[in-house]
Amino acid sequence: MGTSEAVLHVLSGAVPQFLSSDMCSSNSDLVFYSKCHIKSVKKKGSRRLPSLKCSSMSGCQIGSYRCKRLGGGLHGNTAIDRLTLLRCKCQQAESASGVDTGKGNGAWFVDNAKKLNLNGSMNSEDILEFKTVEQLKRENEVSMSNGKVGTGTNTIFTGGVDSVEDEAWELLRASMVYYCGSPVGTIAANDPTSSNVLNYDQVFIRDFIPSGIAFLLKGEYDIVRNFILHTLQLQSWEKTMDCHSPGQGLMPASFKVRTVPLDGDDSATEEVLDPDFGEAAIGRVAPVDSGLWWIILLRAYGKCSDDLSVQERVDVQTGIKMILRLCLADGFDMFPTLLVTDGSCMIDRRMGIHGHPLEIQALFYSALLCAREMLTPGDGSADLIRALNNRLVALSFHIREYYWIDMRKLNEIYRYKTEEYSYDAVNKFNIYPDQISPWLVEWMPNKGGYLIGNLQPAHMDFRFFSLGNLWAVVSGLATIDQSHAILDLIEAKWADLVAEMPFKICYPALEGQEWQIITGCDPKNTPWSYHNAGSWPTLLWQLTVACMKMNRPELAAKAVSVAEKRISKDKWPEYYDTKKARFIGKQSRLFQTWSIAGFLVAKLLLADPNAAKILTTEEDTELVNAFSCMISANPRRKRGPKRSKQTYIV
């Protein structure tokens, strides 16, 4: 769609027909029907949980779905109206995949490093065939007993490798989860010192992203492809909590491979995928970011492997559309940002981020750009792409204009007038200048700035949230000047944000009465711990991607060097405590998978900065400039009833 058409559509106030209130019941969409291979596994009480199943005794077919045809959506075969997603002949794997690990180069930025193979390809078929595979034996065998199918080993890593990077690869592969003999993800943590597993033995969508990127950059595409397709199947299942079902398109927070008795034969067992959409999570919060990360990983897979057949599949195209429709649905909100509850993203506990948190907006913007790039043209996509373009323009303008803060903007807020009732008000959100905290006045550097954590009527959350700012750089949500300013601030405030271990999840911590009120006296989110300004090594990979995009690799190399000094000795913790990250987190899991994977991705990107392009998106300058010019000429839309295009004969 042309730029001028998109802008005119934004300013005209037109609303796409597909976003009407009955959008979820539209029968023009592709609908998944399970024939016989979705099973209900009895849980405690009367609750029944659907699970994908696969017999370990004989060959079986998984996920056979009948679907209504979507105009032009079935790539390469319009005569097919039955799509077999996955077929597998199951056999328990004896050990983890035996892929050789290359020796690390022991450096963070090497000019003559070997370039990664990003031009691999895979077979493009609408039917993915999983065959029985003879697994190679390796040192770190996968434990298949005691009901823990496919999880990593339960022994502490004892060393015996040439570098920290080699150790990390060994640990990452030991965390791989197998389903029907094929890898489908990595568990959250493989900590042998913890007796309380909780849900750390599950495959989390957001946790797998750095693992998936690491495997892609290493040229190992199968595990990512399997992950994408299996989680897609889980998306279509009915989700219910207390008689209420969320909107279609919601992706699970996590899933677990379980071994259960085969129906009608207690002597045989089968593997099932058991998803959690938030109904078992602490706080019962649905994962808003799961679907957004899934779209981002799908694009990265296509760009890295050159296998576009996956994203062109009719079921994958439908999965993308279901996520977009869920995010683009009309509501009461006047803002283009997504309205979410507390705990719906990486910060999954009560931390005062309900409303319009920056992290969700940055991922939302990135997912919209990735989806626009991958959607195939067709009758069912026109309205969706039009609504997507409208939201991209409005969202980028809103974030850049109202979330940005630097010394100049801070001084402007300090002089705000309040209670302005006017279409031309300067203080549009009625922000009271007294909200500016003393810490911010002292902390803000003369050079640099950042995007605030949240914006609501009469409220600005001035905390620096790392993931949101870093991904705003990666996705192009922040302008080029703003992106450099964010990295300038990180460099200026290195002692606060990096210190002895990268990277602070947010800054500063909530303390005293503020901590009591906002967190509810959460004993895990005490000041300078966990989500309350703890230091998370996994954020190293987002920092590196942002630095590679802005051509500032020295900043990422410096952070990697800080992490490499102690992360292996500390046994790869989940997070660190205290202002300077001197202590391993008091409840931190060891051998946390995304800490391991985040380190590996950072190392791989430093060796080949061009590889970051599988994750980055460039600023859509033409669209943004056209919108900005028209907004400047006409700061508000004309009010009044919409004119009907229909003519009437009286």
Low-confidence winner among 234-243, 406-415, 499-508 (lowest mean pLDDT): 234-243
CA distance 479 to 472: 9
Task: Output the pTM of the full model.
Answer: 0.76
How far is it between the farthest Cα atoms of the chain?
A: 89
201, 581, 453, 246 alpha-carbon torsion, rounded to 10° = 10
Helix (H) or strand (E) holding 84: strand 82-89
Is the confidence at residue 150, as pLDDT, over 60? Answer: no
- Please tell me the predicted confidence (pLDDT) of residue 29: 39
Which positions ≥6 away from 637 have C-beta within 8 Å?
Answer: 11, 13
- Please tell me the predicted confidence (pLDDT) of residue 516: 95
- Please tell me the predicted confidence (pLDDT) of residue 267: 81
Question: What would the mean pLDDT of 372-400 be, rounded to a whole number?
Answer: 91
Q: What is the mean pLDDT of the chain?
A: 78
Is the confidence at residue 413, as pLDDT, over 60? Answer: yes
Look up the domain containing 400 and give its range.
164-631
Nearest Cα to Cα of residue 387 among 319, 328, 468: 328
Which positions ≥6 away from 64 have C-beta within 8 Å?
Answer: 34, 35, 36, 37, 82, 84, 85
Low-confidence winner among 124-138, 159-173, 610-624 (lowest mean pLDDT): 124-138
Strands 459-465, 449-456: pairing kind: antiparallel
Overall domain count for the chain? 1
Instruction: Scan for tokens 């895990």, then name that residue.
Output: 524
286 within domain boundaries: yes
538 within domain boundaries: yes
192 within domain boundaries: yes
94 within domain boundaries: no
82 within domain boundaries: no
- Please tell me the predicted confidence (pLDDT) of residue 618: 84
Question: What would the mean pLDDT of 82-100 be, rounded to a whole number?
Answer: 35
86 within domain boundaries: no
Give me the long-range contacts of 438-447 (CB less than 8 A, separation at least 24).
439/508, 440/410, 441/410, 443/493, 443/496, 443/508, 444/405, 444/406, 444/407, 444/410, 445/407, 445/488, 445/489, 445/492, 445/493, 446/407, 447/485, 447/488, 447/492
Percent of the chain with pLDDT over 90: 56
pLDDT: is 475 or 194 the higher one?
A: 475
Is the confidence at residue 161, as pLDDT, over 90? Answer: no
Sequential DSSP letters for 425-453: -SSTT---GGGS-HHHHHH--SS-EEEEE
- Please tell me the predicted confidence (pLDDT) of residue 639: 53
Alpha helices (H) in 197-269, listed in sequence order: 205-217, 222-235
* Amino acid in the structure at residue 313: R
* Amino acid in the structure at residue 168: A
Q: Before 508, cis peptide (omega within 30)?
A: yes
- 163: DSSP letter: S
Residue 466 near residue 506, CB atoms below 8 Å: yes
Interhelix angle for 539-549 vs 553-564, to 10°? Answer: 160
Residue 96 near residue 122, CB atoms below 8 Å: no
CA distance 110 to 117: 17
Question: What would the mean pLDDT of 366-380 be, rounded to a whole number?
Answer: 91
Nearest Cα to Cα of residue 594 among 219, 204, 236, 331: 204
pLDDT-derived band at 60 (thresholds 50, 70, 90) equals: very low
pLDDT-derived band at 94 (thresholds 50, 70, 90) equals: very low
- Please tell me the predicted confidence (pLDDT) of residue 241: 64
CATH number for the domain spanning 553: value is: 1.50.10.10
Instruction: Scan for tokens 């303008």, then name that residue.
Output: 397
CA distance 60 to 360: 39
566 within domain boundaries: yes
Q: Report how far apart the first and last C-alpha atoms of the chain are (Å, whole number).
A: 37
534 within domain boundaries: yes
